[in-house]
A = this chain, B = another copy of it.
Amino acid sequence: MDAESRRAWAYLSRVTEPPNPLLAQLVSSVGVVEAAARVRRRDLENDRLKRATAARFDIDCADADLEILDRMGGRLVTAEHEEWPHLAFAGFHTLNHEKRPQGHPPLVLWVVGPLELWDVAERSASIVGTRAITAYGDYVAADLAAGLVERDVAVVSGGAYGVDGAVHRATLAADGRTVAVLAAGIDVPYPAGHSALLHRIGRHGLVVTEYPPGMRPTRRQFLTRNRLVAALGRATVVVEAGVRSGAANTASWAKALGRPVGAVPGPITSSASVGCHDLLADRAKVITRAADVVELVGQVGELAPDVARPATGLDDLTDEELTVYEALPGRGKRAVQEIAVAAGLPVTEVLGPLTMLEVRGLVTQQEGSWKLAKH
């Protein structure tokens, strides 16, 4: 896009707390440059929008912000760009905005990384969970992520400690596609301990945020950010979550957006699985392997294959055949009359089943008496 529009997007990205649907409306009706100009000179018909921009309208660090973005090799992505994941954000328009005031698409996304956002969002799962991860959760998160990479599913998370970090790391380790959605500015490594990880994600995957450079994350921003984590995954899966967790908030966004929600069961003795069991009690799908997630992601014809069940030759016996079979001694042989007594069936009804069992190779006959076949 041209420099002027770019400056306008950057300016508007900071002028209100995102998301602001009034600002989005103004942009779509008069264009981004004119919208920015009107906000700057307080020339706004809508009083609520006027108030919402009153505090920051005269703060313009668009140039500085864009310079930071350029230095990071990043880009601005908006609904005007091919990369914009329109489908992923479509659900926001149908939300009840009384109940979910934050339930709007972002206006601008600050993006760093080699992947295309719309492409990633086509086939993706959001895997989230507690920061207080256990060894079990760490194993499961990494295992699921690796399994999703095998099945060409991109993995979206929040870049936090715990489950998020385990998921991002495992996806990178498997050369998969991973997206970290931040609650801070693109240049603010948060948590600090993940600055190297976020850097790697920016080099091989995508780091995305709707907050302008320099913004520190706040509790409110985390909750607002969670809606984007949910929106960018075709399904959301919680690996481990305590009684109070942001993961539950992300899951509720996914549910509101009509996306399937899954949860990984764990030991009921583990406080890190309480949130997952709450979700399962609330009809989240049971996730025990990556194939279950792929099924939720919902590509046609990708139902999870049944787990292989060991079969025994007795499974498809009729009731009578089973009765007769059970009537044979574990060792040694029996005459038909004895079998009939043991089975509680008349001789006439024992011969048929015995023949069937012989056909199945389960019993053998010797001089008119029967025995179990050796296996």
Binding site for B on A (CB under 8 A): 15-17, 51-52, 54-56, 59, 101-102, 136, 139-140, 218-221, 243-244, 264-269, 273-274, 276-277, 280-281, 285-289, 307, 309-310, 314, 319, 322-323, 326, 340-341, 343-349
How many angstroms between the C-alpha atoms of A281 and B102 in the bound complex? Answer: 32
Shortest CB distance A305–B (Å):
14
Q: Is there an interface contact between B267 and A267, defined as CB atoms closer than 8 Å? A: yes
Indicate whether A349 sits within 8 Å of B51 (C-beta atoms), given known contacts A268-B288, A288-B268, A326-B220.
yes
Task: Judge whether B52 and A319 touch: CB under 8 Å.
Answer: no
Contact (Cβ within 8 A) A268 B140: yes
Q: Which residue of B lies closest to A287 (CB)?
A: B268
Q: Residues of B contacting A266 with CB < 8 Å? A: 265-268
Collect the chain B residues with CB atoms within 8 Å of residue A54's CB.
340, 345-347
Measured in the bound complex, the distance between the Cα atoms of B136 and A273 in whole Å is 15
Q: How far is the CA of A260 from the CA of B276 in the complex (A)?
A: 21
* C-alpha spacing A287/B349, complex, angstroms: 45
If the complex has contacts A136-B267, A285-B281, A348-B51, are A341 and B56 also in contact, measured as CB distance less than 8 A? yes
CB-CB < 8 A to A218: which residues of B?
Answer: 326
- Distance to closest chain B CB from A363 (angstroms): 15
Question: What's the number of copies of this chain in the assembled complex?
Answer: 2
A284 vs chain B, min Cβ distance (A): 10
- Give every chain B residue within 8 A of A101 (Cβ-Cβ): 319
Set B55, B219, B289: member contacting A341, Cβ < 8 A: B55
B273 near A346 with CB under 8 A, answer no
B268 & A220 in contact (Cβ 8 Å cutoff): no
Task: List 6 contacting pairs A-B, 8 Å CB cutoff, sorted by A.
Answer: A51-B345, A220-B323, A264-B268, A265-B267, A266-B267, A267-B267
Q: Which of B310, B314, B340 contacts A219 (CB 8 A)?
A: B314
Q: Which residues of B sit under 8 angstroms from A268, Cβ to Cβ?
A: 140, 264-266, 287-289
| A269 and B136 form a contact (CB under 8 A) | yes
Which residues of B sit under 8 angstroms from A264, Cβ to Cβ?
Answer: 268
The residue on B at minimum CB distance from A221 is B326
Residues of B within 8 A of A289 (CB): 268
Q: Which of B136, B307, B343 contacts A55 (CB 8 A)?
A: B343
Residues from chain B with Cβ under 8 Å of A285 in the complex: 281
Q: Which chain B residues border A280 with CB–CB below 8 Å?
A: 265, 280, 286
Q: Which residues of B contact A341 (CB under 8 A)?
A: 55-56, 59
Query: Whole-angstrom distance between the alpha carbons of A310 and B245 in the complex?
Result: 11
Q: How far is the CB of A25 from chain B (nearest CB, A)?
A: 18
Which residue on chain B has the smallest CB distance to residue A340? B55
Q: How close is A60's CB to chain B, nearest CB, in angstroms?
A: 13
Chain B: minimal CB distance from A42 (Å): 11
Residues in B whose Cβ lies below 8 Å from that of A269: 136, 139-140
Shortest Cβ distance from A339 into B: residue: B55
* Alpha-carbon distance A164/B15, docked complex (angstroms): 65
